[in-house]
Structure 1
Amino acid sequence: MVDRAAFEAIAAAHPEVVIPLEQTPDWVEFERALGRAPLGIWEYRDPSGELVATASFIHVVRRLRASVVAVNGPVWFAERTPAAERLLLEAVREQFRKDPTVDPLYVRMQVATRQAPATGPIEHGWYEREIVVDLRPTEAELLKGFRPNARNSIRRAQRDGITVRHIPREEWTAVFARELFPIMVETAERDGFQSFDSTYYETLLRVLGDHLRLLVAYQDGVALSWLITTEYRGYAVYYFAGSTHAARRMFAPYLLLWEAFRALKAAGNTACGLTGIESENYPSLANVTTFKRNFSKNVVVVPTTYDIPLNSARYAAVSAVLAARRSGPSAAKGLARRMAGPTRLRRSSPATTKS
């Protein structure tokens, strides 16, 4: 397992690699603060000792299955060829087959080239395409690169008296609980998704504050729209956001995101990811795709999340139960009764983990 000092040494030696915040020691502390079970960050090296990748894992326990999940990972430091990825998949599978502290049904991680032992997934866990905004041009050039709709919407929000406030860090949790979480509830109900409870966001703001910004759009002192951005090693992410019906009518989210870009650029960030847009496995992101495309044409493909079963027969049985559950409860109960117990296999791999 890699401690903070070793991780920071790896990161410093590879300044060109974009390391997601979810794959850092700071995110490990966030998961721990939520009461979850992080399993630490591991490094993987080839037979010659050269660094291939790192991965931060979380132990997730749900009904019918436990899993080990690398959120937005692993991070690759070597060339990500299909052959190299196959060795990593085998090494990860062997690692958790031998780990006496966990008994996962599968390991979930991003895979660029789908191949054995990766399969599934039982459910998708991360977006596959996103818009990334280049923050290196001047503010004038950046604004000019937006679609006319975005520029017009920014001006309309300004004319309507929308103002954007950078909330001071000492006020974050109080402002979020009092003014912003109700907006998230409204956003989730309108757009058809289930948000985390307020404690999740408040913990995020408290634990990861060194990497966050909280901006809120107001009209006449009333909060209409908000966003949280993350920053790590010069790469920013538009991470969470919420807006009221009134905010959308007055184009507040456009002005809010523009002000966020300006602040992120001034802080030295060179790019900002806008997170997921519509793809084959995420058609429900069509609405946010329309909004995000106003700010850049740069679409980045993110490796798809797949499962690495530790026991193929049991994984297939659980997959069948879950599929049947979606079709009808009686079919699911029948399959559950027929599920086989776990069988352990052992297979060596040329790739190794380093602790």
Structure 2
Amino acid sequence: MTAAPLNYSKLDGTAFAAIADAHPHVVIPIEQTPDWVEFERALGRSPLGIWSYRDEVGTLVATASYVHIVRRFRESVVVVNGPVWFAERTPAAERVLMETVRRQFRDSADAHPLYVRMQVATLQAPATGPIEHGWYEREIVVDLTPSEADLLRSFRPNARNSIRRAQRNGVEVRSIPREEWKEVFAAQLFPIMQETAERDGFQSFDSAYYETLLTVLGDHLRLLVAYRDGAPLSWLITTEYRGYSVYYFAGSTHEARSTFAPYLLLWEAFRVLRAAGNTACGLTGIVSENYPGLANVTTFKRNFSKNVVVVPTTYDIPLDPRRYAVVASLLAVRRTGPSTLRGAVRRAAGLVRRFRTGQTAPGTPTAET
């Protein structure tokens, strides 16, 4: 017997606040809040709002905030770090939610996505893929409820020694006043982010992204910087929402590493966050099967806690499984890049065009959902 689909409705700010207030012990990621919707809008993106999902008797099951993204060959709807579950997250409940979401966006007048992307704890139909991974799968979470002395003692010896070394090296941590955030970030900190990205092999956002973050989400952020002799060595941005904080963005110079500045900086951040009433701090992603490149930051983060939390993996829910399979194959070929596969790319692109115009090529493979 097939379970009945969920009822869904769009939430305004008042309705969302009522749900949050009624569930004080549920951790709601900041990316799943109305504040983040406004941040996405300020970036020029297309948020579709936050939706609630309830069963037949009106019991709240989950909420999800969606962003509409359009790229070449594909249009998608993405749930960033969500959905948020208020009912028990069983495989059966997840399947009902996914089927409901698929029906919702098949009927949507606001978007016509190829797929919806969200976190899924148990991989099963209709989830598949994903075409590309969108969120980390494991993180370190630091408990901030112990006393400062007990919290410091809980760190690995390497972290405690590094904190002391940074202090002996003359590193000083400052909490930047909010009215100075944009100026300080643009002039002093974005160059450090560029250096960090080049050194560690990733592509950072442009400065405007971080400046917009600091402007729109300022009520939920802190900006701390480690200096030595007046020169910035390392910085971090934390988020806070309902007593849960996240070590969200950070950058460091080569000199920061030799002076152990990041250790003292994070310790001071813990102290500030704890004093503000936060009970935990997520350190974001560490190494996992789909993110082997996080091995270096994992070594640093493990110094502060043994508490590893598994985050549900991001998967795609195709609305048109056949076209999704073609697009996924096309993008996989593009990533491999050998010239011998250029013909396959052209053929796949042709199939995408046929699907867009309603023409189906004979013998086109289908994907099970």
Residue in structure 2 matched with residue 237 of structure 1 by the alignment: 246
Residue in structure 2 matched with residue 341 of structure 1 by the alignment: 355
Residue in structure 2 matched with residue 6 of structure 1 by the alignment: 15
> Does 1:201 pair with 2:210?
yes
Residue in structure 1 matched with residue 187 of structure 2 by the alignment: 178
Residue in structure 1 matched with residue 344 of structure 2 by the alignment: 331
Q: Give the Cα separation in 2 of the matches to 1:286 and 1:64.
A: 33
Cα deviation 1:147-166 (Å, max 9, x = unaligned): 00000000000000000000
Q: Could you tell me how far 1:327 is from its partner in structure 2?
A: 2.7
Q: Give the Cα separation in 1 of the matches to 2:272 and 2:336.
A: 48
SS in 1 for 2:355: coil
Q: Give the Cα separation in 2 of the matches to 1:215 and 1:259.
A: 9
Q: Could you tell me how far 1:235 is from its partner in structure 2?
A: 0.1
Q: Where does 1:1-355 land on structure 2 (aligned, <5 Å)?
A: 1-328=10-337, 329-339=342-352, 340-342=354-356
Cα deviation 1:222-261 (Å, max 9, x = unaligned): 0000000000000000000000000011000000000000
Q: Give the Cα separation in 1 of the matches to 2:344 and 2:263.
A: 48
Does the 8 A contact of 1:69 with 1:108 survive in 2?
Answer: yes
Q: Could you tell me how far 1:342 is from its partner in structure 2?
A: 5.0
Q: Could you tell me how far 1:331 is from its partner in structure 2?
A: 2.4
Does the 8 A contact of 1:311 with 1:343 survive in 2?
Answer: no
Q: Could you tell me how far 1:337 is from its partner in structure 2?
A: 1.2
Residue in structure 2 matched with residue 347 of structure 1 by the alignment: none
Does the 8 A contact of 1:67 with 1:107 survive in 2?
Answer: yes
Residue in structure 2 matched with residue 348 of structure 1 by the alignment: none
Does the 8 A contact of 1:311 with 1:342 survive in 2?
Answer: no
Cα deviation 1:253-274 (Å, max 9, x = unaligned): 0000000000000000000000
Cα 1:342/1:84, change in 2 over 3 Å: farther
Q: Could you tell me how far 1:330 is from its partner in structure 2?
A: 3.6
Q: Could you tell me how far 1:30 is from its partner in structure 2?
A: 0.3
Q: Give the Cα separation in 2 of the matches to 1:124 and 1:69.
A: 11
Q: Could you tell me how far 1:343 is from its partner in structure 2?
A: 9.5
SS in 2 for 1:126: coil
Q: Could you tell me how far 1:333 is from its partner in structure 2?
A: 1.7
Q: Give the Cα separation in 2 of the matches to 1:276 and 1:142.
A: 21
User: Share of identical aligned residues, percent?
Assistant: 77
Does the 8 A contact of 1:105 with 1:309 survive in 2?
Answer: yes
Q: Give the Cα separation in 2 of the matches to 1:330 and 1:200.
A: 38
Amino acid at match of 1:331: A
Q: Could you tell me how far 1:63 is from its partner in structure 2?
A: 1.2
Amino acid at match of 2:351: R
Q: Give the Cα separation in 2 of the matches to 1:325 and 1:199.
A: 30
Consecutive unaligned residues of structure 1, counting only runs of 5 or more, are 345-355
Consecutive unaligned residues of structure 2, counting only runs of 5 or more, are 1-9, 359-369
Cα deviation 1:116-147 (Å, max 9, x = unaligned): 00000000000000000000000000000000
Q: Structure 1-normalised TM-score?
A: 0.96
SS in 2 for 1:132: strand
Q: Could you tell me how far 1:17 is from its partner in structure 2?
A: 0.1
Cα deviation 1:285-331 (Å, max 9, x = unaligned): 00000000000000000000000000000000000101111233442
The count of corresponding residues between Structure 1 and Structure 2 is 344
Q: Give the Cα separation in 1 of the matches to 2:157 and 2:329.
A: 48
Q: Give the Cα separation in 1 of the matches to 2:335 and 2:235.
A: 35
* Superposed CA RMSD: 1.0
SS in 2 for 1:124: coil
SS in 1 for 2:62: strand
